Amino acid sequence: MTTWLTVFYTVSVFVLLALASGLLYSRLERNMRQQDEDFLSHKMQVLAALLQKAPLDRAGVNQEVLEEAEISGSSPSPFFLRVLDAAGRPLDETPGMAAIIPAAAFPAGTSRDPRRWSARGGSQFLLAARSVHATGATWRVQAAVNVSAQESLLAEYRRDIAVVLVGGLLVAGLLGAWITRRGLRPIAAITRATERIGAQHLEERIHSGPWPAELAALASAFDHMLDRLQEAFERLSQFSADLAHELRTPINNLVGEAQVALALPRSSAEYTRVLQSALEEYQRLARMIDSMLFLAQADQARAALTLTRLDARAELKAVADFYQPLADEQGVTLVCEGEATVLADALLLRRALSNLTSNALRYTREGGRVTLRAETSPQGGATLSVRDSGIGIAARHLPKLGDRFYRVEAAREGGAHGAGLGLAIVKSIIALHGGTLVIESTPGEGTLARLNFTSPATLAHATA
């Protein structure tokens, strides 16, 4: 990038200098030539006026020729005049003109067609000629001006332009390299900052304070990305630690029971009891693995969603019917309320509602109430909620609900149930649908879990 920017800058400056120099040179050359041509034209007009007088004013012609010779004799650009008759014989001419510029060197046209001509000594002349018709005679007026000084000036000007272009090219290259390196210095600083970031230094940040405005947004976006990566890395590390802990307990139970069973000869009933206990642990491991697989696939499952407009009341009723026997056994009232339409995947929606309903029944005492409710939100979406009158959850636990393997059984009754993945699954499901999970609870009064779905139009656009 540094090389290309330097080359582009240098070429741009060189082109600008070349165009400016060429324009100035062209105007200077044109002005000098125009002045010489105007001077020649003026002198020939004066002679033409004298030649057209009747009778011919030879004294006036001679005086005009000699005066110009006297004036231009000491000038660095001498001027020459010659008057020829119809036969080509000189009527009058500037002294010494025949030796310098022969009559045949002049153009055959008029004064509007001047031409450049080089003498033997290398002098440059601008030549012009004009025919004058007088009463009974035709005259040929020839005029020449030495432009060697102008040519020398133009040649020196061309050399100066070449020096300026070469010098400008070198200066532009050096200056362009310095400007480019200085301009790209923040990018190099960002590069060094990113090189310090690793798995052991995820807290490092680029920070957007010292950067130019063009890079401030990039630095800020990069820092936000690092925030997300750090959060994801920490969650993954915690998830790995929790997973190892959760798997260690049932495996240790299985190993311990097997060791005890093999230590001494046992009866068939004792082996059956050991196998039944092991089966419970196997089932617990199977449920945990299924839940972990679902969570692992959830981040990639948006494209696989089968979205359908569902009657939310009917979905709640189906879940309530499934858990009604359990509710009756526990002496808990299970009811459905409200009406709404939701755009969702039917299987995933029922799984989320089942998890919430299962949790509500688990922590609701006999005589309590669990209410499944559907309602339309003001923004056009739908809210499905599960409210219970159970033991509730302490406020300090609410922000962590939905984290994988997080459980609050120590503060709730009922012992250790599950692996702490139920609410994590619910959170993943509602996230796939572009919604949110909100849990409110008061200890001793109950818990309210709300699934907030976006409007069908918004979700359809997001998943298109």
Residue finishing a domain among 265, 298, 331: 298
C-alpha distances (whole Å) from 246 to each of 126, 181, 402, 407 are 105, 55, 17, 12
User: Quick one: 148 and 243 in the same domain?
Assistant: no
With both helix axes pointing from N to C terminus, report the angle between 213-263 and 268-298 in degrees, rounded to the nearest 10: 170
Domain assignment present for residue 445? The answer is yes
Residue finishing a domain among 124, 154, 184: 154
Q: How far apart are CA 181 and CA 9, in angstroms?
A: 12
Q: What is the CATH number of the domain that holds 434?
A: 3.30.565.10
Q: How far apart are CA 344 and CA 363, in angstroms?
A: 28
User: Quick one: 234 and 368 in the same domain?
Assistant: no
Domain assignment present for residue 202? The answer is no
Domain assignment present for residue 53? The answer is yes
pLDDT in tens, the chain (464 residues): 778 888 888 888 889 989 999 999 899 988 888 888 888 888 888 888 888 776 777 777 777 777 766 665 555 457 888 888 877 888 888 888 888 888 888 887 655 568 888 888 778 888 888 888 876 788 888 888 888 888 888 889 899 999 988 998 898 888 888 888 777 777 777 777 777 777 666 677 776 556 677 677 777 777 788 787 777 777 777 667 766 766 777 788 788 888 888 888 888 888 888 888 888 778 777 777 776 676 666 655 554 677 889 999 999 999 999 999 999 999 999 999 999 999 888 888 888 899 899 989 988 989 999 999 999 887 778 999 999 998 888 888 888 787 766 667 544 444 445 566 778 888 888 888 888 899 998 888 889 999 999 865 555 555 54
Domain assignment present for residue 163? The answer is no
User: Quick one: 403 and 354 in the same domain?
Assistant: yes
Which residues lie closer than 8 Å to 285 by C-beta, 6 or more apart? 247, 250
pLDDT of residue 460: 52
User: Quick one: 339 and 444 in the same domain?
Assistant: yes
User: Quick one: 283 and 310 in the same domain?
Assistant: no
SS3 247: helix
Which residues lie closer than 8 Å to 52 by C-beta, 6 or more apart? 132, 133, 134
User: Quick one: 383 and 441 in the same domain?
Assistant: yes
Of 368, 430, 291, 429, the residue nearest 360 (C-alpha): 368
User: Quick one: 355 and 444 in the same domain?
Assistant: yes
Tell me the torsion sign for CA atoms 231, 234, 239, 245: negative
pLDDT of residue 192: 74
pLDDT of residue 375: 92
Range of the domain at 103: 2-154
User: Quick one: 418 and 354 in the same domain?
Assistant: yes
User: Quick one: 313 and 287 in the same domain?
Assistant: no
Domain assignment present for residue 312? The answer is yes
Residue finishing a domain among 279, 298, 317: 298
pLDDT of residue 411: 40
Q: What is the CATH number of the domain that holds 223?
A: 1.10.287
Q: How far apart are CA 362 and CA 447, in angstroms?
A: 12
User: Quick one: 449 and 333 in the same domain?
Assistant: yes
Tell if the pTM clears 0.85, that is, is over it.
Answer: no
- Look at strands 115-118 and 369-376 and give their pairing: unpaired
pLDDT of residue 303: 47
Domain assignment present for residue 250? The answer is yes
User: Quick one: 330 and 430 in the same domain?
Assistant: yes
Domain assignment present for residue 227? The answer is yes
User: Quick one: 409 and 375 in the same domain?
Assistant: yes
Q: What is the total count of domains within the chain?
A: 3
Domain assignment present for residue 169? The answer is no
Which DSSP string corresponds to 314-333? HHHHHHHHHHHHHHHHHT-E
